[in-house]
Structure 1
Amino acid sequence: MNYLTATANKKYLMYISQNYSYAILRPLQAQILAHGGEVRWFLAGSEVNPDFLNDDEQQLHSIKDIHSWKPDATFAPANLIPTFIPGIKVAVFHGFDAHKRDTTGEKGHFAIRGCFDLYCTQGPNTTKRFEESARKHGHFKVAQTGWPTLDPLFSDAQDNPYVSDDPRATLLICSTFSHRLTLAPRLYEQIKHFSEQGKWRILVQFHPKMPHEWVEKYKALSNQNLTFVETDNVLPLLKAADVMLCDTSSVMQMFLLQNKPVVTYRTRQPFPHLLDVTEASEVEKNIDLALTRPKELMTAISHYSQELHPYNDGQSSMRVLNATNEFLLSENSLKSKPLNIIRQFKMRKMLNYWGW
């Protein structure tokens, strides 16, 4: 059923704590505004930069402000949110499950912290797990909607500063920040060689928590063959590249959804849809192989994408908004959330809020 018309005159809060969350929630904001709703932003903690807010985006500066505004629903790309703010809490995730940690049971990507009323999942391989948890706990609902972040990935291309008329293939190198998993120190010499070799046009983008030392070392490699990019929106980079070199960062899954190949270096859990290497000397030949788009690999990528995120219509934000409004308008017989006194006390302390 279509619940989008119920958006008019409702209030929706975007609760974020990292700069990359702007790009996650802005497609959803666009849908809310297009259907007559109001949007405000709350920036939690010190790791999110208010300078990234657009001139037409309005910020609430405290939990007291949130209570005064009284949102109907709050969206958060995280697995934790204060339960002491008004309205329903909707989880939209900060990324895909990259298997950085043990994901058996309710750990990692599937952690249930007793904070959310509704989980808007990305595809079958996450929906099934969250539905199992919903039956177990009984205090939240699950709706498979797709991920709002990816809507621009499947929409008509706009001006993309990373697209070039350079005839060479474009290699995008991305890496997570974890010392155990990052390729940055382990493939530095190899990537330096690539930057001098000039075989490909290379774009490099790291997780915002990457140690400063490695950011500076890779910046120093910049030349006519390699460009280091710092951005809060990785989607234009994904669209501009032909192949990706990655480790265990969830950004590689976003890249795969374009039906493009990924070479990984010692990824946490290799799969048939990835070309995983364990030695630096194997990287170049596997990038060359990926660029030929071997049939078996591309078939595996297609099958994986259907489980991960089967939507390529650019309408996931609309489905999230529809599911949220349906929740708001329905009679929900959910159990009460667990108190989580210690966790909520810590959040009150962090946000300096002691009211009700």
Structure 2
Amino acid sequence: MMAGYLLFATERYALPILAPLAQALHASGHEVAAWFTDGAVGSALPGVPSAGLREALAMRPQAVFSAANWVPTFLSGAKVQLFHGFNVQKRDSARGHFRVRGMFDLYCTQGPATTAPFAALAAEQGHFAVVETGWPKLDPLFRDDGGESAALRAPAQGRPVLLFGSTFTERLSAAPHLLEEITADIARGRHYWLLTLHPKCAPALFEAYRALAGPNAAFVEPEQVMAAQRAADVLVSDTSSIVSEFIVQHKPVVTFRNRVPQPHMLDFDDPAQLPAMLARALAPEPALRAEIARYADEIHPWRDGRSSERVIAATEVFVAGELGRLRRKPMGSWVRDLQIRRDLGYWGRSQR
């Protein structure tokens, strides 16, 4: 058996990020286990054994792949950051996507828009390496998914397929504001809707959107979201990272009150405008198509469905010492290590 790797997540939405990587690791003959804590407790990946703290320690992994913004630093192996989303500018860079917490050894970045800032930080701080690999979560968008997306699209019977996905951040969420208009469009039946919400959205919103399922709509669980993105013609969203995930397919996106509207989006602020925005998205102008392609290539130019393999290759190169020697982690990382130990109830020695 080849080297063992540990997949780490704290939220259910990390599963679609880790699943393609798990498949690639299995295909390469590696031992794989998954440790899910907090909001991801009880989740599972097909064919991947679940681990707890004791099993993770006993495994002594060669690397820990994290789809969270933290990782248990006392475990053995390289700590590899995979990211749980794109930079959608929900908050400033110092608190958001480009915040360096001093826990990770290797950042596997998604595309030039992410690589350049992290490479600059790595050159300045010296305690982590950066390799642009693309994002494992998007691998299924660019390869055969076994018919799952076709199955989601089939009930449309030739109608345009619209996907609705919303962030959980209350001040940014379109879900409460667009419910009435989406309900009305579903009733008209000209389009077929796939509906999904961030797992952290309020239970009342889940109830309302699940109730819309029928001949003209289906509710999609988090594990199906990638297949839904592949199946849909247009996305309706807000300031959610699903906007960037969807647009890498070069498909139009309609956004409601996006925090930072950009030329690749069709942004609007009055719910009554939704039908007109859908009409524009379903017949995009050449200028919009060009902006979509430009932005997609900036955030994620990898369109071969093999980002997971690049993550594995980058990790192996890092472990072999071929990316240079790192400086010691900053003092702040020791404080975070103590916080993690307290939260997990572990006060043993750090593994090497």
**1:143 and 2:131 matched:** yes
Conserved 8 A contact 1:20-1:233: no
Aligned to 1:111: 99
Of 16, 40, 52, which aligns to 1:48? 40
Return closer, same or farther for 1:313/1:53 CA change in 2, 3 Å cut-off.
closer
Q: Bigger shift: 162-171 or 139-148?
A: 162-171
**1:120 and 2:108 matched:** yes
Aligned to 1:349: 342
Correspondences of 1:253-272 after superposition (within 5 Å)? 253-272=244-263
Of 272, 292, 299, which aligns to 1:308? 299
Conserved 8 A contact 1:195-1:223: no
Where 2:5 maps in the other structure, the secondary structure is: strand
Conserved 8 A contact 1:79-1:112: no
Aligned to 1:324: 315
Q: Bigger shift: 261-270 or 151-160?
A: 151-160
Of 144, 159, 169, which aligns to 2:147? 159
> 1:256: how far off?
0.6
In the alignment, structure 1 segments of 5+ residues that lack a partner are 1-7
Aligned to 2:122: 134
Q: Report runs of 4+ in structure 1 exceeding 4 Å deviation.
A: none
Q: Bigger shift: 223-232 or 241-250?
A: 223-232
In 1, Cα distance between equivalents of 2:119 and 2:266: 31
Aligned to 2:89: 99
* Counterpart code for 2:124: K
How high is the sequence identity, in percent, across the aligned residues?
Answer: 40
> 1:343: how far off?
2.1
In 2, Cα distance between equivalents of 1:309 and 1:145: 9
> 1:286: how far off?
1.1
Where 2:153 maps in the other structure, the secondary structure is: coil
CA-atom RMSD in angstroms:
1.4
In 2, Cα distance between equivalents of 1:29 and 1:240: 23
Q: Bigger shift: 25-34 or 234-243?
A: 25-34
Correspondences of 1:218-297 after superposition (within 5 Å)? 218-297=209-288
Conserved 8 A contact 1:44-1:351: no
Conserved 8 A contact 2:8-2:68: no
* Counterpart code for 2:192: R
1:70-113 Cα distance to aligned partner (Å, 9 max, x none)? 1110100122112111111000111111111122xx33011100
Q: Bigger shift: 231-240 or 262-271?
A: 231-240
Of 9, 16, 25, which aligns to 1:23? 16
Conserved 8 A contact 2:36-2:43: no
> 1:221: how far off?
2.5
In 1, Cα distance between equivalents of 2:224 and 2:186: 24
Conserved 8 A contact 2:44-2:50: no
* Counterpart code for 1:122: Q
1:273-315 Cα distance to aligned partner (Å, 9 max, x none)? 0000011121111110110121110110001011000010011
In 2, Cα distance between equivalents of 1:203 and 1:253: 18
Q: When the two structures are aligned, how many residues end up with a matched partner?
A: 344
> 1:157: how far off?
4.1
Q: Bigger shift: 329-338 or 92-101?
A: 329-338
